[in-house]
Amino acid sequence: MNRLLLLLLFLAFSFTFLLAQSDDPLRTKANELARQFIITDGHVDLPYRLRVQNFRLEREYLGIPVETDKGDFDYVRAKAGGLDAPFMSIFIPASREDNGARALADSLIDMVVGITQAHPDKFALANSPAEVEANFKKGIISLPMGMENGSPIERKLENVQYWHDRGIRYITLTHSKDNHICDSSYDTTGTWNGLSPFGQQVVREMNRVGVMVDISHVSDSTFWQVMEMTDVPCIASHSSCRKFTPGFERNMNDDMIRRLADNNGVMQINFGSTFLDGNISKQMDEKRAELTRLLEEKGLSYDDEEAQPVIDKFQEDNEVLMADVKTVADHIDHVVSLVGVNHVGFGSDYDGVGDTLPTGLKDVSQYPNLIYELLQRGYSESDIEKICYKNVWRVWQAVEDAAE
């Protein structure tokens, strides 16, 4: 009887909660704003995910970007979440430095172009804010492109123009290792102590050609040197606040956020839980070390077929609680408290951070949850419009104007 009573109470509470949600005017307003405003996201790793899945532009594969239960992005979910202009990441692993980087980048760009050609009623390329706005009026999702890792420049300054001509509108100068342009936040080598001499030329050429400089992934010394020499605003396409992840150089500290704002730039918040909460990152590191020891005791490596059941069981028994949508809003709050609402946006890293996405932001259908959280915290519609796209538009247009 007690169990039945508890079940009935639980069902009554759930119904009341769902009814309250449906009647919540802020929830309704969040859904409306997600469709009223353009939503841009600085970093979605769809192209590389599809490449890993051996994507081919043949008939049986054309449905992959439209509707799928794989990954974090497809057309149906993007439409549900109000996402209008996800920057497709042309991701080049650090291992491709001097190892076919340009060919890989070309193939990923070809893939994005192919998606728009296969589904012209759903997707279109976009090389400027004006083109995104024109697509938005038609109800079409724009696929602007940014290159994650400048390795495909391949020590040839003229390649900056080449990539611009191919549709690249920002370049993340490096990724997880120092490259021929600059040092990485993940690398301890300090090859250049910031920008290489060639990297300095690359920054100037990006300014000249009209490609946004993305300082996500770079070392602190690289960041400060870029700020000193760039003539136009820069972006951090998918970075979060180091205040919440002490010692994690991949994120930006308060002085860097202030300097980026002085440059009139924008910081686009990464949704990965390890970027949002240092305690989660620590727990995951500890669990990873524990799993490694367990495999070693069994004489196994991660790549062994026999290891997979052990890995699955360990993960099932050692689940780490991820961040949630409120944590993402905390990072937005922190940027706003430091430099104001004009210098923050969304840079989810969807399809790039695996299963570490926060509760309430598990895929591209859930941007209204973040807008709802911001409304609850007192952000105005004008503030939210800036965060959704206008801040990024300001930088993108400034870079375009300077090049012209």
CB atoms within 10 A of CB 157: 13
Fold of 39-275+324-403: TIM Barrel (3.20.20)
Nearest in space to 11 (alpha carbons), one of 3, 369, 22 = 3
User: d(Cα 22, Cα 283) in Å, to the nearest integer?
Assistant: 36
Is 388 in contact with 268 (CB distance < 8 Å)?
no
b/e per residue, 121-131, with b = 16+ CB within 10 A? Answer: ebbbbbbebee
- Tens-digit pLDDT profile for residues 296-311: 888 988 888 888 888 8
Is 370 in contact with 334 (CB distance < 8 Å)?
no
Residues β-bridged to residue 72: none
CB atoms within 10 A of CB 65: 28
Is 386 in contact with 342 (CB distance < 8 Å)?
yes
Helix (H, G, I), strand (E, B) or coil at 212: strand
Average pLDDT value over all residues in the chain: 92
CB atoms within 10 A of CB 317: 7
- Calculate the dihedral angle through the C-alpha atoms of 326, 332, 337, 338, rounding to the nearest 10 degrees: 140
Nearest in space to 396 (alpha carbons), one of 278, 265, 274, 270 = 265
376 Cβ neighbours under 8 A, 6+ residues apart: 26
Q: In the chain, where are the structural domains located?
A: 39-275+324-403, 278-322
- Tens-digit pLDDT profile for residues 274-287: 999 999 988 988 88
pLDDT of 300 reads: 87
Is 199 in contact with 180 (CB distance < 8 Å)?
yes
Quote the Cα angle for 39-45-46, to 5°. 90
Residues β-bridged to residue 86: 41
Least confident segment among 46-60, 71-85, 179-193: 46-60
Least confident segment among 2-16, 99-113, 265-279: 2-16
b/e per residue, 178-196, with b = 16+ CB within 10 A? Answer: bbbbbbbbbbeeeebebbb
Band of pLDDT at residue 313, cut at 50, 70 and 90: confident
| 62 pLDDT above the threshold of 70 | no
Is 368 in contact with 39 (CB distance < 8 Å)?
no
